[in-house]
């Protein structure tokens, strides 16, 4: 398993750069991962989605799909694409320190 240093913390990642241990995640790491994904700043709207995804993963053991995020968080698909452009479920999972959602290419 590969590792990556983010904000001075070494974390385990898979070949696609997704963290493999959600317990290594922190809000500071999320900010840096967001920048890597082209999101310069995480707003309260971003954090609401990130926190929903992390909580969902605690319950289910995996990152939620786009449909699960929209139905569970109250955000629309349009909102998600505005907050996390070009593949919101995949981007929010990566920023949230979760694995890639099922069904994402």
* Dist. CA 46–CA 34, nearest whole Å: 10
The catalytically annotated residue of 4, 19, 104, 105 is 104
Q: Residues 5, 66: contact at Cβ < 8 Å? A: no
Q: Check if 7 is active-site.
A: no
Concatenating the DSSP letter of every residue in 78-89 gives HHHHHHS-S-HH
Q: What share of the chain is helix, strand, coil (3-state, %, to 5)?
A: 50, 10, 40
> Looking at the annotation, which residues are catalytic?
104
């Amino acid at each position: 398993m590969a590792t990556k240093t983010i904000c001075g913390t070494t974390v385990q990642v898979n070949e696609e750069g997704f963290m493999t241990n959600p317990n290594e995640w922190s809000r500071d790491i999320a900010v840096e991962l967001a920048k890597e994904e082209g999101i310069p700043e995480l707003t309260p709207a971003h954090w609401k989605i990130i926190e929903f995804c992390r909580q969902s993963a605690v319950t289910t053991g995996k990152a939620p799909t786009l449909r699960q995020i929209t139905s569970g968080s109250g955000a629309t698909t349009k909102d998600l694409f505005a907050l996390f452009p070009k593949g919101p479920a995949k981007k929010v999972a990566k920023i949230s320190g979760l694995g890639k959602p099922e069904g994402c290419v």
